[in-house]
Amino acid sequence: MSDKRSGFKKQMDRSIDYAAVLEQIAGYAAFSRSVAMIRNAMPLETVQLAREQLDFVQEGMEYVRLGKDLSMGGVTDIEPFLDSASKSIVLLPGELNAIALFLSAVRRAVQAFEEEREPRLAEYAATMDPCDKLRKKIEAMIDLGGDIKEDATPTLYGRTQALRQAKADLSVFARGYTKQHATRLMDTTTTTIQGRLCVLAKTPEKNSFGGMIHGTSQSGMATYVEPREFVVRNNKIQSLALEIEEEKRRICRELTAQVAASALALGSDLETMTFLDTVMARAKWANRYDGCVPKFQTRDHSFRFAHARHPLIDEQKVVANTYASQKDQFCLMISGPNMGGKTVTLKTIGLFVVLAHAGFPVLAHDAMLPWYTSMWFDIGDDQSIENNLSTFSSHMSKIARICQAANEHTFILLDEIGNGTDPLEGASLASAILAYLIDCQSTIVTSTHYDQVKEFGKADLHTLVSSVEFDVETLRPTYRYLPGISGGSFAFAIASQLQLEPAIIAHARTLKEENMKESQKALERLEIEQKEVMKKQERFDVLIQNAHRIQKEAEAEKQKWIGKRETLEAEYEHELEAMLDEKREEARAILAKMKNHPEVKVHEQIESLHAINDLAPEQKEEKAAKETFAVGDYVHIDSLNAHGEILEIRKKQATVLTNGMKVNVKTNVLTKMKRPNVPKTAPKPRLERVTKRFPLELNLIGMRVEEGLNALDRYLDQAIVHKAISVRIIHGMGTGKLRKAVWDDLRKRNTVKSFESAGPNEGGLGATIVTLK
């Protein structure tokens, strides 16, 4: 940031609490880089850039309002790791894991937004490269704790297993060794010195073990000895450990090289994720405090901040006000008693102007303002001992620079203009300065308590005089903004409440009357009338606020009922599915009864089929309405898992010929299908009539394996008797056990010529077509 911009940032931080508000917004950001970007935010160069960012924030606010959240879990600033990788500095496992976590967040962000609802955010997020290959490679080798996995490579896995086995072998050997030499040892336990297993030998016996001596106990009675039998095994363990570390370093080098190769894409992803996080932080802040996205207009000087609230004032205590000026009002003048809220009003307006120009939302119900190319602030006491400047001199020095730079695109904030010197001279100077700035057509927001300045404002067509309200009964400011009314000092009321002699107050009033001009008296009478109008306006504003609150509550209630409706629909679907399962079980029971009792008459079978059809619920009316049927159509009967040809249709009922039987069913359980291509035979007329009465398919669904095989055995015997050429066995897909058992049984039968899975329109893998000899 240049010195000029840095100085302007400091001026805003000091004058309008800009830094404190940015810090509040930064609290909603997910990681350090986006936090820093928010803290350093400055007004943008052009209105196009500001509008573009505010459009992103608008979509973000809608995204948050719907209860969604852009997951930034695991995102960190990976720029230092990318710099290291680009310089061939090997990254540590934890740093590589941070990159993998970052890429996981990138992948989530790419899929987070809907193109129809959040087109800008969706398009912006789609520009990122999730680098899936790199992420998967890192995840395959490094765990979430930032450690290299044992099975990251076959080499690492083999050496890790070898190390574990070597340690186990040494441990077993050491237990036997210590038992064998217990008389020369202080203790039969072992210990590890610098990664090497040792025994605790009696000091006089220390040289009898060979090997290496690693130290002596404090008492001198025991010595840490690595026996010669341990040396080779310890060397092997340390050698394996070194090989493992070298393999881990090689893995890190390999992954670092891949990170370096993808550094450009990763850097771009980081910039995009940072911007998305700042957008969502701004959106969350605005949503939390009921803010809005400001709009820019370039027609005139008018601005409006409706129901504005300063972010740093307790939301339970802050007083919302509407600040506005018309197109020909270049100056907004605010008056009122000291400590009455004038400075807060100035700071709120100035803060909202800067936030809008920096692409941030504001805490208001609605906001509209012009685009300014420069902004100036003169708030507070800038007395300088170093430069020998008094408060007045400091203000005048700054105002001189403002006047030199002022033009029609300048926004100026002046607190207590002309203060700090002789009241008459100060008021005269203030009026002259304001007149000059108004001639420049700058937008000026100022405060004053000088009557002469207020009179100037009342007389000037381009100035709106307003005030902040003061309660004379409680002697406290209400912080309510009163446009069009200049505020008094309330000195007499305050003196009366503080028990000053009534005679003194009366004398003071007389002196005031004598010194007041007729114009001032007329202004006072006008302000009394204006206050009456304001009371009516306030009642109207209360109604507007209540309407806004009711609207928000209604929207929240709507969302609640939408959620309840979705829950009820899900529960209904679940209950419907459960009911269908129950009906299917009843259907299977009826079918089983028909199959297990071949002696049942044909008309009784038809009645059973009708009973199955009646079990189907009425949930397919819509399907029936969409699909039409005609006599001759070949259809699948959903409720029976059978198929056949339509012989007759009456309204919503159809007569279908299936398996040699006529069945009356509702059209909402029918689905058109391709007529199966069953090989035609030319049997004798007598046998053909017999075959027609024999069902050409067997349904085993719902049966256990043993039960199904028994039914298959009986059915195939009947098929041979009836001279059937081809039959269809329906076993379903399920776990595949019944299908396997059926195929195993068919392979053993010498009456079966061939068998194969049914076609897509005949049941697919859930059915088998059997050709008999």
Helix/strand/coil (H, E, C) string of 43-65?
A: CCCCHHHHHHHHHHHHHHHHHHH
Measured in Å, how far apart are the chain's first and last C-alpha atoms?
92
Helix (H, G, I), strand (E, B) or coil at 132: helix
The CA distance from 212 to 201, in Å, is: 12
Q: What is the CATH number of the domain that holds 471?
A: 3.40.50.300
Domain boundary among 515, 541, 569: 515
Contacts 24+ apart (CB under 8 A), 178-186: 181/209, 184/208, 184/209, 186/221, 186/222
| 425 and 501 within one domain | yes
**Of the residues 648, 675, 702, the one at which a domain ends:** 675
Is residue 115 domain-shared with residue 168, that is, in the same domain? Answer: no
Distance CA 63, CA 55 (A): 12
Q: What distance in Å separates the CA atoms of residue 91 and residue 259, rounded to the nearest whole number?
A: 9
Query: Which tens digits make up the pLDDT trace of 160-211?
Result: 999 999 999 999 999 999 999 999 998 888 999 988 999 999 999 989 898 8
In-domain check, residue 705: yes
Q: Which residue, 615, 646, 675, sits at the end of a domain?
A: 675
- Is residue 477 a part of any domain in this protein? yes
- Strand, coil or helix: what is 457? helix
Sheet of 653-658: strands edge to edge? 661-666, 653-658, 642-650, 634-637, 670-672
Say what the pLDDT of residue 142 is: 94
Q: What is the pTM of this model?
A: 0.64
What is the Cα–Cα distance from 394 to 382, expressed in whole angstroms? Answer: 6
**pLDDT given at position 761:** 67
CA-CA distance, 81 to 252, in Å (whole number)? 13
Asked if 276 and 326 sit in the same domain, the reply is no
Judge if 480 and 408 occupy the same domain.
yes
Q: Which residues contact 656 (CB under 8 A, 6 or more apart)?
A: 635, 637, 644, 645, 646, 647, 662, 663, 664, 665, 670
User: What is the DSSP code (8-state) at residue 764?
Assistant: G
β-bridge mates for residue 661, sequence order:
658
Residues 494 and 633 in one domain: no
759: closest CA among 728, 722, 725? Answer: 728
pLDDT at 448: 87
649 shares its domain with 764 = no
* Residue 142 in domain: no
Q: Does a structural domain hold residue 393?
A: yes
Structural domain that includes position 17 = 3-131+262-288
323 plus 465 within the same structural domain: yes
The answer as to whether 589 is a domain residue is: no
662 and 760 both lie in a single domain: no
User: What is the distance, to the nearest Å, from the Cα of residue 283 to the centroid of all Cα atoms in its chain?
Assistant: 11
Is residue 245 included in any domain, yes or no?
A: yes
Residue with token string 């009826």: 590
Which residue has tokens 């100077």?
A: 429
Q: Are 344 and 456 part of one and the same domain?
A: yes
Query: Does residue 302 share a domain with residue 268?
Result: no
| 119 and 195 together in one domain | no
Q: Measured between alpha carbons, how far is 12 from 71 in angstroms, rounded to an integer?
A: 33
d(CA 446, CA 457): 11
Determine contact, residues 269/106, Cβ cutoff 8 Å.
yes
Write out residues in the chain with pLDDT < 50, as ranges: 383-388, 602, 616-622, 624, 681-692
Please give the pLDDT value at position 275.
Answer: 96
Do 230 and 353 fall into the same domain?
no
CATH number of the structural domain spanning residue 634: 2.30.30.30
- 721 CB-side CA count, 13 A: 9
DSSP state letter for 384: B
List pLDDT tens digits, range 479-492: 888 887 776 555 66
Beta-strand relationship, 374-378 and 366-369: unpaired
| Domain count within the chain | 5
Q: Residue 662 has what pLDDT?
A: 77
Q: Give the residue among 723, 682, 715 at the shortest CA–CA distance from 697.
A: 715
Cα 419 to Cα 711: distance, rounded to the nearest angstrom: 107
